[in-house]
Structure 1
């Protein structure tokens, strides 16, 4: 079995594994593993989650950002997609628990989807709440040895745990259990983060996603806006036609919003008939135009009521933008501050006659 591992594992990871076994301590992993530093991640687990304390230059080149100091769980989706985040979370948690090397290969799109590459990754426990991860791009080789070819295929689907003799000790999960585990995690995440009626982000998840986008806007020097929305006289729909009609109206409203919004915009239900939208990369007049387009889209919705009746609805919207790129003190928690400014503009829209858009003053 050791011979099979040697045939399939990239020789650079073979060297990294040998260095790891010979190490007495891991106080400065990027120094001890200096020859692998460009392809090395050092991850420390603190109260915020898994944090990169060393981020190799090879990853900076491939992913377009230096993530040293960043918490993995708070990275925007355009940097770390949800499926890859789940894979990393699983690998890191499993390696910490079994305290043994975890080895896998994975294929992904790089350079904004320009080309596909296969990488091999080795996750190594480094004492306490620290992990050392080495990863290298590899050329996929099909082996004449059936055992080596089978191992290569397994690595593409499930992580492999190595024992003290560099032999395969176990699979991190059986293939069926691994798939079931991923499905179960996805279901739990959906239930915890989504509004059960409309399927969009709930209040807590909206604040989380919008907060990450705000932090990303600050770091990248990009504008950012938030819309606060409230359906006008929504109680009349419930009182006249019942709560089932009200639920249908809320779902129709969300469908109208999706038609008016862009792919990267974030829609959340804050409570009752109150909603919020984050607009990354947008500020000022552009944000107001999106809000106006959305208002018109909602105004055109025709509600079909049981018994043959029809109804309509309108929405009032408040717009608030953040564009002070020089303010490095802004944090993801400040999404509540911007949303409060949007709420104030929303109240002005309500007081001004409803079914209108109002913009908050700058600052």
Structure 2
């Protein structure tokens, strides 16, 4: 009896679970730790027969053919190590978790698995840590959060959530970040309480899963959706392109984004957005002529295909711009042409880096998708601009049309009256224009109208507004211009038109202009009054022989 009691005491103190059977296979003793084999079922009762389903079949067979070799069997998600030891008056069956197999599984897990004591001292950490830290896992063992030299933000997140687990006894889930020189890692962390047999909290188990790619994908999708909303809501193109550069730079660490638009002639690229490039560099490349060997963007626009320069210092495409790039520490540049639906080049989408590098598949996918969205935004802007031109401009001369002119002139007129500023109006008519059409055809007439319009625009100020009222009749408003100055401007314009060299099919077409001038006075209350008086002055100039300027009488 003493020997039996001593054996049971010893077995109960050991880490494995034990079951003693007599020769009739009745239960003589069972330790509490044997419950790992029962998976929630009650332990067998001492003095009762061995339950038929308690032991795995392979272990049952060992009772018939006993040996001293261990068995490792899966059970309920665990790997259990069994040993059947034959005794003189029965069997001793032991079971424990296969610690070696557990350690193998843990060390091959893609997650970082850490065990902390209640003072947050690291008691165990698997080798997965080496994927994210140059410090060996063994050097973390036995150290506190401070001693492990973790980033402050990460330490605070672990400490805060550990306090929540200790206080509540419930698991916590949180997102943490680890910023390393090469990239930013994002982890989904789970902090689990571990209890002893008495139900007392004894440690915390942390499982940190790298979700950097999923996190980046979610951010990218959110940014991309915002970009689509901006395009759909007709936000200004400049705003859309600025947001796009910011979006890409957030997504691709270290990248400096640029968007350049090709001019209507298809010859030069003009910078539209590049928030992270130096001002001096932006000035140097603005208006870059496209062509083979003109950097990444000039070449991409010329070829109509992507150009990847991973090392500017050695790539021949940058031969003429190598010093410029080096002065601003630019060492790689990938450029993708922005293409319209018909394949026409609209501009370029460029990514600069401060180190030699080539894009991976993820970066290429992001750049291509963004380039496609930029093409949509640019074409939408071009269509809107074209519609605006149709609604506001004369198709032949490019000047404001009558309706648009009257709208703007009315606003300027009201502002001048309200502020008490001078304001003048010119009404112009090309002399003997019917003779031009009769002698040179309508094509010759169109040439004259276009030349006349260009001459007027170049002679007047940028703040002045010129329009084609219809046929050969034109008008211009001169803000902040009193009558005396308006007369000088009109005479200068008449002389410029008379000296204008116009030819059609090698035949010169001399023209002159008659101009009527009217200026705002206190008595004038409507733009229509000013136009009527300018018209009267114009008729007076024509009646006096044309090719002259007449000023309306005081209003």
Counterpart for residue 187 of structure 1: 386
Counterpart for residue 360 of structure 1: 552
What is the deviation of 1:216? 2.2
Counterpart for residue 264 of structure 1: 463
Counterpart for residue 15 of structure 1: none
What is the deviation of 1:244? 0.9
Which of 273, 279, 290 is 2:489 aligned to?
Answer: 290
Counterpart for residue 499 of structure 2: 300
For residues 340 and 149 of structure 1, do their structure 2 counterparts lie closer, same or farther at Cα, with a shift above 3 Å needed? Answer: farther
- Greater shift, 206-215 or 288-297, is seen at 206-215
Higher Cα radius of gyration = 2
Counterpart for residue 228 of structure 1: 427
Question: 2:506 aligned with 1:311, yes or no?
Answer: no
Q: Structure 1: any 5+ residue segments left out of the alignment?
A: 1-89, 96-101, 108-117, 121-140, 158-173
- SS of the aligned residue for 2:516 comes to strand
Q: Residues of 2 paired with 1:195 and 1:356: CA distance? A: 26
Q: Residues of 2 paired with 1:149 and 1:213: CA distance? A: 49
The equivalences for 1:239-258 within 5 A come to: 239-258=438-457
Question: Which runs of structure 1 show a deviation greater than 6 angstroms over 4 or more consecutive aligned residues?
Answer: 147-150
What is the deviation of 1:314? 0.5
Q: Residues of 2 paired with 1:176 and 1:224: CA distance? A: 43
For residues 145 and 192 of structure 1, do their structure 2 counterparts lie closer, same or farther at Cα, with a shift above 3 Å needed? Answer: closer
Q: Residues of 1 paired with 2:391 and 2:541: CA distance? A: 32
Aligned residues: 213
- SS of the aligned residue for 1:195 comes to coil
Counterpart for residue 407 of structure 2: 208
Counterpart for residue 53 of structure 1: none
What is the deviation of 1:256? 1.6
Task: Report the RMSD for the aligned CA atoms in angstroms.
Answer: 3.8
Counterpart for residue 344 of structure 1: 536
Which of 398, 407, 416 is 1:217 aligned to?
Answer: 416
C-alpha contact 1:207 1:336 (8 A) present in aligned 2? no
The equivalences for 1:118-197 within 5 A come to: 175-197=374-396
Q: Residues of 2 paired with 1:145 and 1:290: CA distance? A: 54
Higher relative contact order (CA 8 A, sep 6+): 1
Deviation per residue, 1:326-349 (Å, 9 max, x gap): 98xx4xxx3232111100000000
- SS of the aligned residue for 1:242 comes to helix
Q: Residues of 2 paired with 1:311 and 1:192: CA distance? A: 31
What is the deviation of 1:149? 11
Q: Residues of 2 paired with 1:283 and 1:234: CA distance? A: 30
For residues 182 and 145 of structure 1, do their structure 2 counterparts lie closer, same or farther at Cα, with a shift above 3 Å needed? Answer: closer
C-alpha contact 1:305 1:311 (8 A) present in aligned 2? yes
